[in-house]
Amino acid sequence: MQKPSIRMFSKSNKVFPYIFLAVLAIFTVLLGTSIGTVYVPFSTIIHIITANIIPSVPADAIDSMYENIVWNIRLPRVLLSGLVGASLAISGAAFQGLLRNPLADPYTLGVSSGASVGAVITIFFGLTLPLLGPFTLPVFSILASFITIFIVLYFAQRIDRAMRVETIILTGVIFSSFLGALISLMIALTGDELRQIIGWLLGSVSMRGWDHIKIIIPFFLVGSILLTLHAKELNAMSFGEEQAKHLGVNVERKKMSILIAGSILTGAAVAVSGTIGFVGLVIPHFVRILWGPNHVHLLPLSAIAGGSFLILADLVSRMIIAPSELPIGVITALIGAPVFAVILIQRRKKLGGEKGS
């Protein structure tokens, strides 16, 4: 249970969390860009960014090596992790509200695995649809994640009409395993594309350039705006679908929109960076503890916090065994899995005598 005192203190000022997280986000972007084999001072980074965005700012004084490191290598990587983190966190928050399940996130629900299968199929068969071009991979990922979430929810409902938290998670785990096996099968059958698939699967934001940012940005914008517009419905649905219906929510339609938006965000994130687990679980959980469960604020705050979190996680994954890199998913799982366990224990305690629902 959340301590009322923590909430009280921060409730009085609803602007504070936004300012706090915005400052944190800017700081992490600068930090992520600054640290590496070559250290780049903050001031230089700011200069390079402004010079690249605003043509009137003179770029003469900038070292071309710095320029190359910051603008072509580190900044796109940092921004991409930010966007991926934001996508995963906001979709996690939405899935949790929709399913009334604090343990739901794209990873535990099996949606990430679904998106991976979509992506692997695209690579395996070397698919490129004429109209979609570079968007073929994300579009297939999104479609696959959308299909997966529906199959998972359908099965969970068949097992247990009340759709208990544990049932959904268990169904997600089973599907993840199954989809993981599919991926392994495809890898085993692959010849030349093997390295590409493995590299992608590890879940990384390294060696991604501006191209990847261009791929994820439209999906990120559509998905997160769509979710933010459904904040009130998510509030209503976290009291149960029947109660939401009583309150006047068109549950079927709104639920579909939210699932589509969540799948778009997850699919796009997986398409550019592979499966990165637990971001969608950990971030909304902490945002809720600090600033309450109201989705009007929870969704945007989770997005900003999730972005910052993944930038830091990426930084750690680069630093910890430098000069080689850890997959970023290792860092998020190291943090996320224990948090998952803690939430599970808290829920069990809270339910104690009550009926498990």
Q: How far is the CB of 334 from other proteins (least distance, A)?
A: 26
Rounded Cα distance between 208 and 225, Å, is 25
Q: How far is the CB of 38 from other proteins (least distance, A)?
A: 45
Q: Please name the helix (run of DSSP H) or strand (run of DSSP E) that holds residue 277, with its range, or none.
A: none
Residue 76 structure tokens: 């796109």
Residue choice 1, 15, 188, 321 for contact with other proteins (CB under 8 A): 1
Residue choice 122, 145, 238, 332 for contact with other proteins (CB under 8 A): 238
Nearer to other proteins, 214 or 253 (CB): 253
Residue choice 217, 247, 260, 330 for contact with other proteins (CB under 8 A): 247
Nearer to other proteins, 211 or 242 (CB): 242
Per CB under 8 A, contacts with other proteins among 338-357 are 350, 357
Residue choice 189, 198, 209, 242 for contact with other proteins (CB under 8 A): 242
Per CB under 8 A, contacts with other proteins among 160-189 are none
Cβ–Cβ under 8 Å, residues 357 and 164: yes
Residue 287 makes contact with other proteins by CB under 8 A? no
Closest Cα to residue 116, out of 270, 259, 223? 270
Angle CA(253)–CA(254)–CA(258) in degrees, nearest 5? Answer: 120
- Which span sits near other proteins by CB under 8 A: 25-33, 41-49, 96-104, 170-178? 96-104
Cβ–Cβ under 8 Å, residues 199 and 237: no
Q: How far is the CB of 293 from other proteins (least distance, A)?
A: 4
Residue choice 22, 221, 250, 319 for contact with other proteins (CB under 8 A): 250
Nearer to other proteins, 276 or 298 (CB): 298
Q: Please name the helix (run of DSSP H) or strand (run of DSSP E) that holds residue 24, with its range, or none.
A: helix 16-34
- Which span sits near other proteins by CB under 8 A: 3-11, 186-194, 257-265, 273-281? 3-11
Q: What is the DSSP letter of 60?
A: T
Q: How far is the CB of 203 from other proteins (least distance, A)?
A: 29
Residue choice 157, 173, 193, 232 for contact with other proteins (CB under 8 A): 232
Rounded Cα distance between 53 and 13, Å, is 34
Residue choice 79, 89, 236, 305 for contact with other proteins (CB under 8 A): 236
Closest Cα to residue 310, out of 328, 297, 322, 327? 328
Token look-up 């299968």 returns: 117
Per CB under 8 A, contacts with other proteins among 6-65 are 7-8, 11
Rounded Cα distance between 233 and 248, Å, is 9
Query: How would you class 348 by CB atoms within 10 Å of its CB: exposed for 0-12, middle for 13-18, buried for 19 or more?
Result: exposed
Rounded Cα distance between 341 and 345, Å, is 6
Residue 172 structure tokens: 């997600």
Q: What is the DSSP letter of 74?
A: I
> What is the distance between the terminal CA atoms of the chain, rounded to a whole angstrom?
16
Number of separate helices (H) and strands (E) present in the chain: 16, 0
Torsion of CA 196, 82, 271, 35, to 10 degrees: 0
Q: How many residues at the interface with other proteins, by CB under 8 A?
A: 32
Residue choice 32, 118, 203, 292 for contact with other proteins (CB under 8 A): 292
Binding pattern for the stretch 251-270 against other proteins, x by CB under 8 A and - elsewhere: x-------------------
- Which span sits near other proteins by CB under 8 A: 78-86, 120-128, 208-216, 241-249? 241-249
Residue choice 32, 76, 97, 277 for contact with other proteins (CB under 8 A): 97
Residue choice 20, 294, 316, 344 for contact with other proteins (CB under 8 A): 294
What residues contact residue 204 under an 8 Å CB cut-off, 6+ apart? Answer: 273, 274, 325, 327, 328
The site for other proteins (CB under 8 A) is made up of: 1-2, 4, 7-8, 11, 97, 100-102, 229, 232, 235-236, 238-240, 242-243, 245-251, 288, 292-294, 350, 357
